[in-house]
Amino acid sequence: MNNLFEIRDLSVLFQIKNGFLKRPQSLRAVHNVSFDIKRKSVVGLVGESGSGKTTTGKAILRLIEPTKGRLLLNGKDIMHKDYDIKKLRKENQIIFQDPLSSLNPQKTILQSLETPMIIHGVGSDGQQRREVIQETLESVGLRGEILNRYPHEFSGGQLQRICIARTLVLKPSFIVCDEAIASLDVSIQSQIINLFKKLQDGYNLTYLFISHNIAVLKYLCDEIGVMYLGEIVEFAPTERLFANAQHPYTKALLSVIPEPNPAGERAKETGQELKGEIPSPINPPPGCAFSTRCPYVFDRCKVEAPQTTTYDQQHRVACHLIAQD
């Protein structure tokens, strides 16, 4: 079996209460998302804020209960009532954007790292757990002597290393990285990116990497899904996506990435960037979600949502322009 995760028609709706007498509205955070995560691969999700990429990442781990859909981990349905949720938590981990707020400020690093091990019964006694922790801290580039210090004593980059170590002590097979490098300084970002890359080989990890930084995703990921208003509008192997993007939103997204190259930046055509903003997920537009901003919009887009079509092998696009050909 090649796929670690199979995600089928995943939808997440949130109920928004607007007040005592008003009827609750539903917010469509994730809508019919399907993709596979191959074992030992890195899948990236990219999109604007509000596109549902974080919700997708959390719903896959059942940190947010999906409203609809099937989630298969190693072929087993993790939504099934008999599935051992504790085992799911142990083998599948998540790293958040802000490391300082994901560590308890009143607990020492040792306590923060030991707690998940105690909960999941890793290591027989304190001595053995300490050894695992020491070893893991070294593999993320920290020294063991920090164990009795508190989170506020560390810089952002060190804290993110600690958070990574906390997931690794459980020997997970899958980690969701939710904007895990976005809050770090430039000179630290590349250190952490390299660390993710090294750990993948060392620990046989599979990642779901959520980011708005497309250049980082291009460097790290094997496959990338582009999300817009809760839907995956395009999903393709990384090389193919960059060489041959099909969806108008992907094209627009790729065209606005700033590159450290002044001549190239000046040569970029201005006026190509997207107009307007992402619509509200409470009242998504009928038809294609992107139709309100799409430069190629035609009548059909405004009434009928495009089906996901396989453009060529492994490359899926949801756009009427592609479906027509």
Partner 1 sequence: MGNSAAILRVCNLTVQFQMAKDTVHAVNGIDFELNNGETLGIVGESGSGKSVTIKSIMRLLPTIPAGAIFYNDEDLLKLSEDRMRDIRGKEISMIFQNPMTAFNPVLPIGKQIAESIEFHEDVTAQERRFRVFELLSEVGISNPEYRALQYPHEFSGGMLQRAMIASSLICSPKIVLADEPTTGLDVTIQAQIIRLIKQIKETRQMSLIWITHDLSLLAGLADRIAVMYGGRIVEQANVDALYERPLHPYTQGILASIPTLSTDRSSLLFSIPGLPPNPMALPQGCAFCERCKEAMPICGDRVPALKESKNNHLVACWKYESECGGNE
Say if CB 235 and CB 223 are below 8 A apart: yes
Nearer to partner 1, 217 or 321 (CB): 217
Does the protein bind partner 1 through residue 27 (CB under 8 A)? no
Cα dihedral 132/210/235/88 (nearest 10)? 40
80 vs 51: CA distance, rounded Å: 27
101 binds partner 1 (CB under 8 A): no
- Restricting to residues 29-88, name those near partner 1 by CB under 8 A: 48-49
Tell me which residues in 219-248 interact with partner 1 (CB under 8 A): 219-220, 238, 242
Nearer CB in complex with partner 1: 107/212: 212
* Sheet containing 174-178: order of strands: 92-95, 174-178, 206-210, 42-46, 223-228, 231-237, 315-318, 308-312
For the record, the structure tokens of 167 come out as 């997931």
212 binds partner 1 (CB under 8 A): yes
Which pair of tokens denotes residue 32?
Answer: 């019919």
Closer residue to partner 1 (CB): 164 or 170: 164
* Token pair of 140 as six digits: 């993320």
Smaller CB separation from partner 1, 47 or 69: 47
Distance of CA 83 to the CA centre of its chain: 23
For position 275 contacting partner 1 by CB under 8 A, the verdict is: yes
Binds partner 1 by CB under 8 A, chosen from 101, 268, 295, 299? 268
Residue 147 phi/psi, 5-degree rounding, is -55, -35
Return the residue of 27, 216, 294, 301 that touches partner 1, per CB under 8 A: 216
Q: How many residues bind partner 1 (CB under 8 A)?
A: 46
Residue 37: CB minimum distance to partner 1, A = 18
Interface with partner 1, residue 19, by CB under 8 A = no
Residue of the chain from 266, 269, 313, 325 that contacts partner 1 (CB under 8 A) = 266
Q: How far is the CB of 21 from partner 1 (least distance, A)?
A: 21
CA 299 to each of CA 95, 292, 296, 305: distance values in angstroms, whole numbers, following the listed order: 42, 12, 10, 11
Query: Is residue 22 part of the contact set for partner 1 (CB under 8 A)?
Result: no
Name the token pair of 119: 């909960």
| Residues 119-178 close enough to bind partner 1 by CB under 8 A | 155, 157-158
Cβ-count burial 191-211 (b if 16+ within 10 Å, e if not): ebbebbeebbeeeebbbbbbb
Nearest approach, Cβ of 61 to partner 1 (angstroms)?
25
Report the site for partner 1 in 172-211 (rule: CB under 8 A): 185-191, 193-194, 197-198
Q: How far apart are CA 81 and CA 191, in angstroms?
A: 41
Task: Using CB under 8 A, pick the residue from 16, 215, 282, 303 that binds partner 1.
Answer: 215
User: What whole-number distance in Å separates Cα of residue 278 and Cα of residue 298?
Assistant: 19
Structure tokens at 72: 């298969």
Verify binding: residue 281, partner 1, rule CB under 8 A. Answer: no
214 binds partner 1 (CB under 8 A): yes
The H or E element containing residue 237 is strand 231-237
- Tell me whether residue 3 or residue 200 sits nearer to partner 1 (CB atom): 200
Q: Contact 252/274 with Cβ under 8 angstroms?
A: yes
End-to-end CA distance of the chain: 34
Work out whether 218 is an interface residue with partner 1 (CB under 8 A).
yes
Q: Applying CB under 8 A, which residues contact partner 1?
A: 48-49, 155, 157-158, 185-191, 193-194, 197-198, 212, 214-216, 218-220, 238, 242, 252-253, 256-266, 268, 270-271, 273-275, 277-278
